[in-house]
Amino acid sequence: MAYPFSQPQLVQHMKPPALPPYVTDLDTRVLALGSGNWMTLDNLYRGNLALGSNGSGKSSGVIKNLARAALGNLGAGVLVLTAKDDTKDWIAWCREAGRLDDLIIFDDKHHRIDFVDYASRNGAEGSKESANLTELLFKVSQATQRFRKHSSAGEAFWPMKGREFVDAAISIHNCAFGRVTIADIARTLEHAPRREHDLKAADFARENYAAHVLAKCHDDPVNPLPADDLRVLGNYFGHHFRLMDERTRSGVEAEVMGVLQPFMKGTARRLFASGITTVTPELLDAGAVIVFALPIHRFEEVSVIGQVIFKTLFQRYALRRKITSRSRPLALFVDECQYFMDHESDSLFQSTCRSNRIMTCYATQNLPLLIEHMGGQHPEHAVKAWIGNLANKFLCSQNCGYTNRWVVEELIGRGLRYQHGRTEGTSEQLSHGYSRGYGYSHTDGMQSSHSASGNSGRSRTTSRGQNASTTTTEVYEQMIQTGELASMLRTGGPATRWKVDALLHTDGRTFPHTGRSWTLCTFSQR
Distance between CA atoms of 155 and 348, rounded to whole angstroms?
A: 20
Q: Which of 406, 390, 392 is nearest to 504 (CA)?
A: 392
In DSSP terms, which residues pair with 520 in a beta bridge?
503
Q: Which of 410, 308, 403, 406 is nearest to 365 (CA)?
A: 403
pLDDT per residue as tens digits for the range 437-484? 666 655 555 555 556 566 666 666 666 667 677 776 666 566 777 777
Distance between CA atoms of 220 and 188, rounded to whole angstroms?
A: 19
Question: Dihedrals φ, ψ of 504, to 5°?
Answer: -95, 120
Distance between CA atoms of 219 and 44, rounded to whole angstroms?
A: 52
Question: Dihedrals φ, ψ of 100, to 5°?
Answer: -60, -35
CA 417 to chain centre: 32
Q: What is the pLDDT of residue 64?
A: 94
Distance between CA atoms of 104 and 280, rounded to whole angstroms?
A: 11
Rg of the Cα atoms in the chain: 37
Q: b/e map of 403-441 (b: 16 or more CB within 10 Å)?
A: bbebbbeebbeeeeeeeeeeeeeeeeeeeeeeeeeeeee
Taking a C-beta distance cutoff of 8 angstroms, is the pair 267, 299 a contact?
yes
Distance between CA atoms of 193 and 222, rounded to whole angstroms?
A: 24
Q: What is the pLDDT of residue 198?
A: 66
* Neighbour count for residue 101 (Cβ, 10 Å): 9
In DSSP terms, which residues pair with 260 in a beta bridge?
none
Read off the amino acid at residue 445. Answer: G
pLDDT per residue as tens digits for the range 102-124? 999 999 988 999 998 888 877 54
Distance between CA atoms of 85 and 298, rounded to whole angstroms?
A: 10
Taking a C-beta distance cutoff of 8 angstroms, is the pair 9, 521 a contact?
yes
Taking a C-beta distance cutoff of 8 angstroms, is the pair 123, 133 a contact?
yes
Q: What is the pLDDT of residue 246?
A: 87
Q: Which of 242, 252, 253 is nearest to 208 (CA)?
A: 242
Residues recorded for the chain: 526
Distance between CA atoms of 255 and 159, rounded to whole angstroms?
A: 7
Q: What is the pLDDT of residue 148?
A: 77
Q: Which helix (H) or strand (E) holds 285?
A: helix 282-285
Task: Count how many Cα atoms sit within 13 Å of the Cα of residue 115 in the half-sphere of its side chain.
Answer: 27
Whether omega for the bond prior to residue 512 falls within 30 degrees of 0, making it cis, is: no
Digit-by-digit pLDDT tens for the chain (526 residues) are: 343 434 455 565 545 444 357 888 889 888 888 767 888 999 999 999 999 999 899 999 999 999 999 999 899 999 999 998 889 999 999 999 999 999 999 999 889 999 988 888 775 444 456 778 888 888 888 888 888 765 444 444 556 888 899 999 999 999 999 889 999 999 999 988 887 766 666 677 677 898 889 989 999 999 999 999 999 998 999 888 888 888 888 989 998 998 898 899 899 999 999 989 999 999 999 999 999 999 999 999 999 999 999 999 999 999 888 888 888 999 999 999 999 988 778 888 998 999 999 999 999 999 999 998 887 778 888 898 899 899 999 999 998 999 999 988 888 876 556 666 676 767 666 666 666 666 665 555 555 555 656 666 666 666 666 767 777 666 656 677 777 777 788 999 998 899 999 999 998 788 887 778 888 889 988 8
Q: What is the pLDDT of residue 415?
A: 59
pTM above 0.85, yes or no: no
- Quick one: angle between helices 209-219 and 157-177, nearest 10? 50
* Neighbour count for residue 57 (Cβ, 10 Å): 27
Q: Which helix (H) or strand (E) holds 37?
A: strand 37-40
Distance between CA atoms of 263 and 302, rounded to whole angstroms?
A: 10
Sheet holding 103-106, edge to edge: 9-10, 518-524, 499-505, 392-395, 48-51, 358-364, 330-335, 77-82, 289-292, 103-106
Q: What is the pLDDT of residue 390?
A: 94
